[in-house]
Amino acid sequence: MGVLVLICEHPDHLPPNPSGNGEGIEVMQVIAQAKASRGADVAEMTEAEINGYLHQRADPRGFLFGDWCRFDEVLLSFRSGVCYTFTRYVFFGFEFYLSGIYRAEEDAGRPIFKNYGGAIGRMPVAPAFMRIAQELFFGETWRGLMLERETINRFGQVEFGQGTVRLVPMQ
């Protein structure tokens, strides 16, 4: 029973729900300008801007027996050096979150993201297990955001700050 309570609680570092006020175009403009500058401009965006964009981009959809279980939303929360990724699901009317903790690193001049654990609700999941289970937890979300992943891979560095993310073009 205790595990069910932990799974149903909202996780730590969960950002507020985005307002959906049309920030998607602005996010893409900032990224396009930074890419076009060939290293002169850095794309810096806030957590709210990114989550507003994701709110527009990742539509809710049912996937188990119609709408019994459905993906509802993806949210990101940025802390110094760390990105928390949250996917919200609704299962028989109950909402729960799967979350992952990622750090941006560099490999051959390209950003890579290493998993450092996660949680189901507030029940922690060990980093060793998350490295194996992240395809199960986030695979569908990552495949749905292929355009964004390809765009980020064209940058040289990704830096997470308190409530912000910076995309540094390759020089």
pLDDT tier, 82 (very low <50, low <70, confident <90, very high otherwise):
very high
Report the SS3 class of residue 3.
Answer: helix
Tell me the residue range of the domain where 148 lies.
2-169
pLDDT tier, 40 (very low <50, low <70, confident <90, very high otherwise):
low
For all residues of the chain together, what is the average pLDDT?
A: 81
Helix or strand run (H / E) with residue 142:
helix 127-144
Give ∠ CA 24-158-99 in degrees, rounded to 5. 70
- Tell whether the torsion through CA atoms of 98, 81, 38 and 108 is positive or negative: negative
Q: Is the pLDDT of residue 80 over 60?
A: yes
Average pLDDT over residues 21-49: 74
pTM, two decimals, is 0.83
Q: Is the pLDDT of residue 77 over 90?
A: yes
Instruction: Count structural domains, the chain.
Output: 1
Other C-beta atoms closer than 10 Å to the C-beta of 121 total 19
